Amino acid sequence: MAYDQEQLLEKELSTIDESIEYADRAQVMWVNIDGLHNSDILEKLGRYFNIHSLTLEDIMNTGHRPKTEDFESYLYLVFKMLVFDQDKMHIVTEQVSLILGPHFLLSFQEKEGDLFNSVRERIRKAKGRIRKLDSDYLAYALVDAVVDHYYLVLEEVGTIIESLEEKILADPDPETLHSIHHLKREMIFFRKQVWPLRETLNALSKDQSNLIHETTHIFLRDVYDHTIQAVETIDSFRDILSGLQDLYLSTISNKMNEVMKVLTIIATIFIPLTFIAGIYGMNFKFMPELELKWAYPALWAVLIVIFCLMLVWFKRKRWL
Amino acid sequence: MAYDQEQLLEKELSTIDESIEYADRAQVMWVNIDGLHNSDILEKLGRYFNIHSLTLEDIMNTGHRPKTEDFESYLYLVFKMLVFDQDKMHIVTEQVSLILGPHFLLSFQEKEGDLFNSVRERIRKAKGRIRKLDSDYLAYALVDAVVDHYYLVLEEVGTIIESLEEKILADPDPETLHSIHHLKREMIFFRKQVWPLRETLNALSKDQSNLIHETTHIFLRDVYDHTIQAVETIDSFRDILSGLQDLYLSTISNKMNEVMKVLTIIATIFIPLTFIAGIYGMNFKFMPELELKWAYPALWAVLIVIFCLMLVWFKRKRWL
Amino acid sequence: MAYDQEQLLEKELSTIDESIEYADRAQVMWVNIDGLHNSDILEKLGRYFNIHSLTLEDIMNTGHRPKTEDFESYLYLVFKMLVFDQDKMHIVTEQVSLILGPHFLLSFQEKEGDLFNSVRERIRKAKGRIRKLDSDYLAYALVDAVVDHYYLVLEEVGTIIESLEEKILADPDPETLHSIHHLKREMIFFRKQVWPLRETLNALSKDQSNLIHETTHIFLRDVYDHTIQAVETIDSFRDILSGLQDLYLSTISNKMNEVMKVLTIIATIFIPLTFIAGIYGMNFKFMPELELKWAYPALWAVLIVIFCLMLVWFKRKRWL
Amino acid sequence: MAYDQEQLLEKELSTIDESIEYADRAQVMWVNIDGLHNSDILEKLGRYFNIHSLTLEDIMNTGHRPKTEDFESYLYLVFKMLVFDQDKMHIVTEQVSLILGPHFLLSFQEKEGDLFNSVRERIRKAKGRIRKLDSDYLAYALVDAVVDHYYLVLEEVGTIIESLEEKILADPDPETLHSIHHLKREMIFFRKQVWPLRETLNALSKDQSNLIHETTHIFLRDVYDHTIQAVETIDSFRDILSGLQDLYLSTISNKMNEVMKVLTIIATIFIPLTFIAGIYGMNFKFMPELELKWAYPALWAVLIVIFCLMLVWFKRKRWL
Amino acid sequence: MAYDQEQLLEKELSTIDESIEYADRAQVMWVNIDGLHNSDILEKLGRYFNIHSLTLEDIMNTGHRPKTEDFESYLYLVFKMLVFDQDKMHIVTEQVSLILGPHFLLSFQEKEGDLFNSVRERIRKAKGRIRKLDSDYLAYALVDAVVDHYYLVLEEVGTIIESLEEKILADPDPETLHSIHHLKREMIFFRKQVWPLRETLNALSKDQSNLIHETTHIFLRDVYDHTIQAVETIDSFRDILSGLQDLYLSTISNKMNEVMKVLTIIATIFIPLTFIAGIYGMNFKFMPELELKWAYPALWAVLIVIFCLMLVWFKRKRWL
């Protein structure tokens, strides 16, 4: 866990009481809690920072959609961190809750993650504005880090989509179709996570509560723009995936058409020829043709003429 | 039927008059009526609690869409309780009407149900806030219980969808298609029940009438969030079901393509070979080839060469 | 035609003048005109009740979409009565125009209909509120009767849809497809009639003109709710019909797949066997196999082995 | 070109100066200009009537979407006149610009047309309100004439759609499909022309500028209603055309299914029979069956039994 | 880089300091910077013109969606320039940033382009309003030049679509399908660039900041109209492309149907005939027909009759 102020204090605490003891000394305090299994810590924090019991329940329950709630004395913000698992082509979510109070910020993650490391680094090195501004800017920095990560996920998805497209054009197989179907589901899921965050950030960037300073509004508008762009990219990915599915189906149709043509050409040429051969294989006693010397070569000539006529006909129909 | 107050009274009443007699003594009164066949009770209640005749008609008629109506002296709220029948994969609805007045709450169910038992339990054990707050909180608790049940239904549907997906990928049959079609219809139906509830709760949570206390608004906003999430889940289920249907169709297309290929390969190889065999089955008197000693093994050689060329050609076309 | 007031007068009038003469004596007057061919009557009424010429034109022209217009001294309301013709599966429309003035209501129907009989009955028997309230309540009652009839139409359509679904699952034929297509068109048409009525009623129920009393607003909100429900039902019917069409197409696909499999199985088994038979039907002089005694039974053995291998292969591919 | 006032003056002018000279004498003046090739006239008019240069450019440029612009001293209104070319099934557009000033109206058409003749007639014969009201009513009359013509176009399209539907049900060919596709494109185009006019008229009918009198607002609301109806009709036409395309595809699917069945029935019956005939065409020395006297009729019996069994099997599968 | 004022100064500067030195002397100054690789220049400009660091970052980062931001002392506007690469059928984007301050305009392009040459020309020749008005008009002129270029792109796309349509109707191949798919993706991309510009221009044209003069609002409304039209054209292109894809699929279906018919006709005619020939090729000792003199011609007669009956049957089924 980390504190940041004009002077910088940073400590990993095992008990929550220590954090409380530091609370008064710092100008801006950031407590980051990994793992939500320990409800004791939450309760202690809740009592110290005066947090509504409903908020604490919300933090524990990881099935929430992104939202913000203004409890006068603090702002509660919950949203999703998304990581793309390349092997399983699966998006993994983790819920992040922020409690933004005057000069303090509590952040809750489900698992230990390294997404906030870049922010920690900036605090340590006093890089950029972050050390000069209040806890609301810190909250913005955390949200921004998460939203920036969305783009990484989208980029990875984009690469997969492109490789799928190439595969469909080159050599489509049912596996490709399953991948498209799977990605589409993931995009539906992704959108469900990002869309409400968009609304939430919009609300925040217009918020009139005095927890968020005027200067931070510009930055929030910036993240808001980023979420809009993310949603639009997801939507166009879905459109493109639908297009790929159509393309796959048409390719299958084309292939089937080609297969049918081969079958039809072969069958249409040889079935009549076989019939003629069958005729002269009959054992009738009185078949005058059979006695003629030139009958056999004549038949070959007939067969070859039929064969050629068929080819010409197929050429005309553009089947060849 | 149940009363709740600082002190707790709870009785199952057979006549409605008794309930009326208790009405004045309690701080908060909850009358729960199972079954709507007895219009007498309704009328008596209506007279006692001063309820508009249109409201009473609405309670009796079970075909309503969720809505709320403010009649100054009381709030009328109607919505649907949904239960998923696993065997028939069918969603069963039951209409619930609430009449929220100052310090009393009347609830009407079509059938005896156990959905409200959790609320009853909380009242009996004085667990949580429920005993300390007014009838509007009780109304919230009932709506919350119903909306929470929606999630159970959605979870069951989600499990079925997943098993359907596995089945399509493994071994699709028309039965799967009928199930998808059926679930889609159920989702259309589900959405039709939940969507208007969403609007209704939104209206309630912004309601300025003095029947709903300021503190309850936070809770109503919470259920409102839940209904939004439910609607979004339904929508993504519908999207996924459409995707499954497409997947099914493409799988069928793929199979057909495979079947066609087998047919074409077999026919394309053997029809020409059979033709050649047919030629030498002819009974012409003068066929010089027939007299040659090495003609038969030579023919076999020709047939085998044709066969192999065909195989190479199919390999190139990636049909094998 | 009918008048209603504290005391009740009811007369069928052949000339419009008589109606005018009654106008002053009654508290609420309802003139119902069947058939719009007689423009004289309209003009007379127009002059007497002081109606804008544009309104009269609108009444005569039956191609209007539902709308309401406030002309200060009266309200003009036009909407569609819908009847479902079971035999032709066709929705028949009839335009109804209402002119609501202070204490009078003029209603215009294209043809004589019995939809308003229930309202007439209620007036005659002084049932419910209708005799105690003003002409705006009467207008509501008429609209309500029409909207209630929409539900009847929807129920009939619902029954047909269900029978179509059963037919598709059991034995789909092109006729079923034409029915689905036809019903879809009818639903597009139905929606086009009901949707604007919804808007119109919404506007009316918030209308501030003094032609509509405060008490009637609740009732209008009620019909408004009904039209919303009707529109939603139409929309879900359209969704279901689209689903049925997809189901039909997939069923056809399934059938084709099955047909293809039969063809492929038969052809794949017998074409190679026929080829072998063809080989030994050749007339080469030197074919050592033909001289062997056990060759014929051996060949049969080979044929049966090939046959069985094929069957095993098809079983593995799940084509059998 | 035409002037209208209490007294009526009407003249076809070759130079624009004459029109200017009449301008002061009339109460309402309407100048209709056919053809936009002569930019001199436009500039002169522009100078006389004090028209913004941007407006003049807009009038010359025929690629505008319908819109209205309020330039304080005048209102600029641009929209499309549509004519349906029956032979090519093509909608032809022509841009119409109106400049509505106090007591004057300038109208600009691309080509000489006869759509405004009905309005001219009404002015000449002093029919209806038109001679009594100001230039804003004249503008309404012109817009109304154009919108009324949209209905004619829609009716023609409706007739074509119906004939297409009949053709699909009776005997679909690729030509029908091309027609559907073509009409769909035309409807997309049509909608693109009408939709913005709708918005424009809505804005106009609520306009507070003193160029449009209160009395004209009712009339504008009326045309606005008509455009809404036109847009809805276009939308339902598009829905119906999509439905027709689906119907066409299903019909093709049905036909293919039927073709496949015929092929399968013939092949499935005769391929095994041919195999049996092939067996007894073999030239093995020792085939005991060949020597038996009753073998040939027995074989025929076997073939007929197989044939009949096949038929029974197809009947059961409902392929016959 | 260019300055414009009553008197005109125009210079290509290599260092940014020179531009600053000119800044005070001109009434309106336009600095156009090609290429964003040199962050020094940006920082110097930023310091001189007092530009927020976030804006400078935004200018450097080329992945932004079009937006405008009001920083009191200046307006920041970012949007996309689009060029259509005919050969690859690909839309290439370039980000353009404008900083509009009182009497100065900074424009940043990614690459050197000639799109702004028309504006430069107008400034040099003092054509139109451009020299008389302030920097906001110059900003409008630049945006207008970019939006006008959108139309060029759309026209090129339109031509390609038309050639695709002709190709599908004449001779569809999979290549056509890939082109359609590709264009659809490009349109999704195009829309994503233009849509937010529309919103941005709408906001600007209603902007109350004193950086934009009242007179410029009319011009901005004009470009806004153009972007709406562009978006609508893109949407109808997407609709048309979807229609083309459907058309392609139906054409493939039609072709397959035709192929199937040929196969079925040939197979259905010759398979039974071959069977009959096979029968009389059998070597049974006792086949009475074989001994008859007229048997062979009689068989031919039978075969020809069967052949003709088949043809008649196909004619009836409309397969021929």
| Residue D313: per-residue pLDDT | 92
Taking one residue from A and the other from B, the number of pairs with CB-CB distance under 8 angstroms is 114
Nearest CA to D74 out of D97, D56, D48, D100 is that of D100
For residue C47, pLDDT beyond 60: yes
Q: Average pLDDT of B295-320?
A: 91
Residue D66's pLDDT is 84
Which amino acid would we find at residue B53? Answer: S
Residue B96 CA, distance from chain mean position: 19
Mean per-residue pLDDT over chain D, rounded: 82
Residue A270 — pLDDT band, cuts 50, 70, 90? very high
Instruction: Among B181, B190, B191, B234, pick the best mutation site for testing chain C contact (most C Cβ within 10 A).
Output: B181
The pLDDT mean for chain B works out to: 82
E245 touches chain A (CB under 8 A): yes
Kindly give the pairing relationship between strand C2-4 and strand B104-109: unpaired
- Minimum distance, in Å, between the CA of residue B242 and any CA atom of chain A: 11
pLDDT of C310 reads 93
Question: From CA C48, how far away is CA C42, in angstroms rounded?
Answer: 10
* Range from D59-63, D85-89, E12-16 carrying the lowest mean pLDDT: E12-16
D228 and C CB contact within 8 Å:
yes
Q: Pick the more confident residue, D198 or D129.
A: D198
Confidence of residue D20 (pLDDT cuts 50, 70, 90): low
Whether D259 sits inside 8 A of E256 (CB atoms) is no
pLDDT > 70: what percent of chain C? Answer: 88
Distances (CA, A) of B299 to B274, D219, E100: 12, 92, 88
Q: What are phi and psi of B109, to 5 degrees?
A: -115, 150
Average pLDDT over residues B223-239: 87
C-beta atoms of A257 and E262 within 8 A: no
The DSSP letter of residue E294 is T
More confident residue, D69 or E267: E267
Q: Which of A277, A280, A293 sits opposite B286 (nearest CB)?
A: A293
Q: Which of A51-60, C276-285, D30-39, D271-280 has the lowest mean pLDDT?
A: D30-39
Which residues make beta-bridge pairs with C92? C83
How confident is the model at residue E275, as a pLDDT? 93
Q: Is B278 in Cβ contact with A177 (below 8 Å)?
A: no
pLDDT higher at A101 or C4: A101
Predicted confidence band of residue B124 (pLDDT cuts 50, 70, 90) = confident
Q: How many CB atoms lie within 10 A of CB C129?
A: 14
Residue D107 · residue D142 · CB < 8 Å: yes
Interchain CB contact of D258 with C (< 8 Å): no
A291 touches chain B (CB under 8 A): yes
In DSSP terms, B94 is beta-bridged to B81
Q: CB-based contacts of C271: which residues, under 8 Å, 6+ apart?
A: B266, B267, B270, B271, B274, D271
Query: Residue C5 above 50 pLDDT?
Result: no
| C-alpha to C-alpha distance for A263 and A271, rounded to whole angstroms | 11
CA distance to E31, E74, E104, E139, per residue, from E26 (Å): 12, 18, 9, 17
pLDDT of D276 reads 92
Subunits close to D (at least 3 CB pairs below 8 A)? C, E
D9 has a pLDDT exceeding 60? no
Rounded to an integer, the average pLDDT of E280-304 is 90
Could you tell me if B60 and B40 are in contact, meaning their C-beta atoms sit under 8 angstroms apart?
A: no
Cβ atoms of residues C266 and D268 within 8 Å: yes
Burial of E180 (0-12, 13-18, 19+ CB in 10 A): buried
For residue D280, the model assigns a pLDDT of 92
Q: How far apart are the C-alpha atoms of E314 and A154, rounded to whole Å?
A: 56
**A254 contacts in B (CB within 8 Å)?**
none
Of D52, D76, D46, which Cα lies nearest the Cα of D64? D76
pLDDT for A300 beyond 60: yes
pLDDT band at B5 (very low <50, low <70, confident <90, very high): very low
Kindly list the distances between the CA atom of residue B315 and the CA atoms of B263, B306, B320, C206, in Å, as whole numbers in the listed order: 15, 14, 5, 74
The mean pLDDT of B116-136, rounded to a whole number, is 75
Q: What is the mean pLDDT of chain C?
A: 82
- Quote the tokens at residue A85: 């698992």
The model's pLDDT over D109-156, given as tens digits with 9 standing for 90+, comes to 887 767 788 887 777 776 667 777 778 888 888 898 888 889 889 988
pLDDT at residue D5 above 60? no
**Is the predicted pLDDT of residue B41 greater than 60, yes or no?**
yes
**Model confidence over C133-173: pLDDT tens digits?**
778 888 888 898 899 889 889 989 998 998 998 888 888 88
Q: Report pLDDT for B17.
A: 55
Please report which confidence band the pLDDT of residue B8 belongs to, taking 50, 70 and 90 as the band edges.
Answer: low
pLDDT of B25 strictly over 80: no
Say if residue E32's pLDDT is above 60: yes
Q: What is the pLDDT of residues E83-124, one digit of tens each?
A: 888 888 888 888 888 888 887 888 888 877 677 888 877 777
Mutation target for A interface from B236, B246, B261: give the one with most A CBs within 10 A: B246
pLDDT tens digit sequence for B164-178: 988 888 888 888 888
E-interface mutation test, from D190, D237, D241, D263, most E Cβ less than 10 A away: D263
ipTM above 0.90, yes or no: no
Q: What is the pTM of this model?
A: 0.79
D272: closest chain C residue by CA:
C270
Q: Would you state the pLDDT for residue A228?
A: 86
Helix H segments across chain D?
16-23, 39-49, 53-60, 117-124, 135-170, 174-205, 214-279, 288-291, 295-316
Q: What is the mean pLDDT of residues A201-220?
A: 79
DSSP letter at C10?
Answer: B
CB D59 within 8 A of CB D97: yes
pLDDT band at C15 (very low <50, low <70, confident <90, very high): low
- CB contact (8 A) between residue A259 and residue B261: yes
Nearest in space to C45 (alpha carbons), one of C4, C74, C65, C81 = C74
pLDDT of residue D28: 73
B248 touches chain A (CB under 8 A): no
Query: At residue A252, does pLDDT exceed 80?
Result: yes
Smallest CA–CA distance from A297 into chain B, residue: B287
Q: What is the pLDDT of residue B10?
A: 57
For the ranges A179-188, B37-46, E226-235, E307-316, the lowest mean pLDDT is seen at B37-46
A304-308, B311-315, E89-93: least confidently modelled range:
E89-93
Q: What mean pLDDT is predicted for residues A176-194? A: 88
Tell me: pLDDT of C279 over 70.
yes
Chains near A (3 or more Cβ pairs under 8 Å): B, E
Structure tokens, A105? 């910020």
| B290 contact C CB<8A | yes
Average pLDDT of span B233-256: 87
What is the reported pLDDT for E289?
Answer: 85
How confident is the model over E66-77, as a mean pLDDT? 83
Q: Looking at CA atoms only, how far is residue E206 from chain A in angstroms?
A: 19
Nearest to E280 among A251, A256, A284 (CB): A284
Percent of chain B with pLDDT over 70: 88
What distance lies between CA C265 and its chain's CA centroid? 46
Task: Report whether pLDDT(A10) > 70.
Answer: no
Integer CA distances (angstroms), C5 to C20, C25, C119, in order: 16, 9, 14
Closest Cβ–Cβ partner in D253, D275, D286 for C252: D253
**Mean pLDDT across E266-295:** 90
Cross-chain CB nearest to C274 (options D219, D239, D274):
D274
